[in-house]
Amino acid sequence: MTDKIPFKDMCAMFDVTPRTLRYYEYIELLAPQREGRARFYGPREVARMKLILRGRRFGFSLEEIRQWLELYGREGTNAQSRAWVEMADRQLGALAQQQEELAAAIADLRQLRDEVAQKMGNDAAES
């Protein structure tokens, strides 16, 4: 991989829109090199983008991700790792709660669907 990835190639590499990439720069998640109006991304930005997208997949907010990424520069790897474990524990709890709520919603919907389908069958038999 080259050390200078153009803006368009960075979008393609991570399957994100130009707007998304510009927004991540605006909120200081990414800091590409600039040459005139052109933006170029190096290995640091590629690594950060991987972490950002993974964090989003896990349900973390962009602000949480930004603060976590900044922690490395301020306090180093150990502090960042401790923060990651705390964030992961919180998110695992939230995801478990969502999973329970989804399971309950699925069960309710399935029961209602079965009741309506049964009623339709009875109505057809009575006609």
**125 pLDDT tier (thresholds 50, 70, 90):** low
**Domain encompassing residue 109:** 77-127
87 and 39 in a single domain? The answer is: no
Total residues found in the chain within this entry: 127
Q: Is residue 63 part of a domain?
A: no
Q: Cβ(29)–Cβ(8) under 8 Å?
A: no
Residue 85 has pLDDT above 80, yes or no: yes
| 29-80 pLDDT, tens digit each | 999 999 999 999 999 999 999 999 999 999 999 999 999 999 988 998 999 9
What is the identity of the amino acid at 86?
E
Prediction pTM value: 0.79
Using a pLDDT cut of 70, give the percent of the chain over it. Answer: 95
Q: Indicate the number of domains in the chain.
A: 2
